[in-house]
Amino acid sequence: MTVPTGQPTSTQQLAALSGQVGMTHRFVVAIDEGAYDLGSWTKVTGLSVRWDKHTYRPGSANAETIMPGNLTYTDITLSRAACDDSKKVQSWLVATTRTNNRHSGAIHMVDHDNNYTVTWQLKEFFPIGWQITEFDASSARPALETLTLAHNGFLNDEAR
């Protein structure tokens, strides 16, 4: 590979230029500071946030002023092939069913050396859905487990 100057570089030099890339094959989910460990997951969706946009036009001004409004987080969905860790999820679901307890926890992106590349700290979350795909021995596909979580955010926006 070459950098824009045309000079060849080593992999280490490229890594120094670009930082650690979040290439991963799994995510680890820990709840309530490790009280529950939901194991490794292969797919996470819904890590997104959106701000409302408010516009204001004072008096007879032609220009509008835009301001950020409330923010909304989407539900997070975790997916993986059903495995031994599925028992941990079932135990956690039984422990949290019909309680008004909200949990804190983290989703960690794990690299090939088992180091956390990125961590999202979830605030006040609880399960809102769990499912497993059909069991079909005639297909070559594994049964997939999906867990959906509602939460109050992952940005540390109270520290402002």
Q: What is the pLDDT along the chain (160 residues), one digit of tens a residue?
A: 444 555 555 555 545 544 555 555 678 888 887 778 898 999 999 999 999 999 998 888 889 999 999 999 999 999 999 999 999 999 999 988 788 888 899 999 988 888 888 899 999 999 999 999 988 888 888 999 999 999 999 988 765 4
The token duo for 158 is 């109270």
What is the pLDDT, as a whole number, of residue 12?
58
Instruction: Please report the domains of the chain, with CATH numbers, ordered by start residue.
Output: 19-159 (2.30.110)
The token duo for 27 is 């995510």
What is the pLDDT, as a whole number, of residue 136?
84
Measured in Å, how far apart are the chain's first and last C-alpha atoms?
Answer: 42
What is the pLDDT, as a whole number, of residue 17?
46
Distance CA 56, CA 30 (A): 43
Strand partners, 26: 110
What is the pLDDT, as a whole number, of residue 93?
92
